[in-house]
Amino acid sequence: MGTSDPVFPDARAVARAISLVEDETADGAALIARIYPRTGRAYLVGVTGAPGSGKSTLVDRLTVEIRRAGLTVGIIAVDPTSPFTGGAILGDRVRMGAHAADNGVFIRSMATRGHLGGLARATSDAALVLDAAGMDVVIIETVGVGQDEVDIVRTADVSVVLLVPGTGDDVQAIKAGIMEIADIFVVNKADREGADRVVQSVAANLSLQTFAPGAWRPSILKTEASNGVGVDALWTEIGRFREHSQDRRQARQRARQDARVRELLAQRFLEHVEAVLPAGELDGLVDRVARRDLDPYTAVDGVMRQMLGQLQQAGGAGQDRRVRPSDRPPVR
Ligand SMILES: Nc1nc2c(ncn2[C@@H]2O[C@H](COP(=O)(O)OP(=O)(O)O)[C@@H](O)[C@H]2O)c(=O)[nH]1
Ligand SMILES: [Mg+2]
């Protein structure tokens, strides 16, 4: 893995870098700034499914398949609840065991809580590190709950959604809005009773959707991850999707960055406000809003005006710095 790369001389350097960006330190931000120009090469695979659906097992098998194709693999597992891995740290060790002698594989578990800028931010920064470290494929494994996690998988280059028989998963997926984000459905544990029913119900649901001519129609595959059955077909299918979606990959990458830039802007602006407002002023505003003394919109507008006033002062005349209406991003 990127042994000639001075930023990441070894796996330990990669691990340290991920810790830096995970904790959202100033050093982490500086690191991202340094490595960003060399990112964008890795192919991002999002894998989601309920706890116990076999994500980790499947990802491990898929990794073997990808290594066989001569590519390097970075794995980010956002799933410390798995009974199989028994917690993040142990999970890393257990899983690294299978690929221990292979420096073309890097596995990292992410805590699901405690990220200042949110889980999606921490995960995509970790993915950038693995990308810059020269990983050809970066797999992000998440439990498909919560908007954060759905977002992570939705904006990957390819989204793989795992379903399993016997859990009403087919119905759940449709409810949770996961149908819309899947590029490839995988019915894992196909050795179990009812796999074909899941396939049929997903197919039935897809048949109700309309697809533009030439648009990708999500495929449905069956796997037995624990036996390695169907995993090669999944890798082939990911390749087929990659071919098919070459033009749209740029758009997805842009969507990923769009979310990141806006999120970061909102967060940094709030940090700025908290740093420059006199101590207690924001809390005072919140108190007034709580007392119904002031409505939240007026409160925020007031703060905005105060901040923009400061910016204009700092920028002197600042006329040419102002955003022209045509330069403004579309309102969302
Ligand atoms: N019967 C069967 N069990 C499987 C299959 N794939 C994974 N498992 C088992 O399901 C359990 C949960 O797997 P794991 O990969 O930890 O699921 P995760 O929580 O989604 O990451 C483990 O005991 C696996 O051995 C499969 O295809 N068939
Ligand atoms: Mg797991």
Tell how far the Cα of 238 is from the centroid of ligand 1, in angstroms.
21
Q: Whose CA is nearest to atom 13 of ligand 1?
A: 54
The mean pLDDT of the chain is 83
Give the mean model confidence (pLDDT) for residues 55-61. 93
pLDDT tens digits, 271-281 = 889 999 998 99
Burial group, residue 245, by CB count within 10 angstroms (0-12, 13-18, 19+) = middle
Tell how far the Cα of 37 is from the centroid of ligand 2, in angstroms.
31
Q: Using most ligand atoms within 8 A of CB, pick from 84, 229, 234 the residue to mutate for ligand 1.
A: 84
Q: Given the CA of residue 143, which atom of ligand 1 is nearest to it?
A: 20
pLDDT tens digits, 221-271 = 999 999 999 999 999 999 999 999 988 888 888 887 888 888 889 888 998
Q: Provide residues with CB under 6 Å of ligand 1.
A: 49, 51-57, 79, 82, 84, 188-189, 191-192, 224-226
Q: Whose CA is nearest to atom 12 of ligand 1?
A: 52
How many C-alpha atoms does 281 have within 13 Å on its Cβ side?
12
Burial group, residue 40, by CB count within 10 angstroms (0-12, 13-18, 19+) = exposed
Q: Which residue has the tokens 């006199």?
A: 278
Q: Given the CA of residue 224, which atom of ligand 1 is nearest to it?
A: 27
Q: Whose CA is nearest to atom 16 of ligand 1?
A: 84
Q: Using most ligand atoms within 8 A of CB, pick from 58, 223, 226, 234 the residue to mutate for ligand 1.
A: 226
Q: Which ligand is nearest to the CA of 48?
A: 1
pLDDT tens digits, 134-178 = 999 999 998 866 666 677 777 789 999 999 998 766 566 555 667
Q: How far is CA 4 from the centre of its chain?
A: 28
Element (H, E) at 130: helix 119-132
230: helix, strand or coil: coil
Q: Given the CA of residue 60, which atom of ligand 1 is nearest to it?
A: 15
Tell how far the Cα of 131 is from the centroid of ligand 1, in angstroms.
28
Query: Is residue 82 pLDDT above 80, yes or no?
Result: no
Q: How confident is the model at residue 313 (pLDDT cuts 50, 70, 90)?
A: confident
Q: What is the pTM of this model?
A: 0.83
Burial group, residue 63, by CB count within 10 angstroms (0-12, 13-18, 19+) = buried
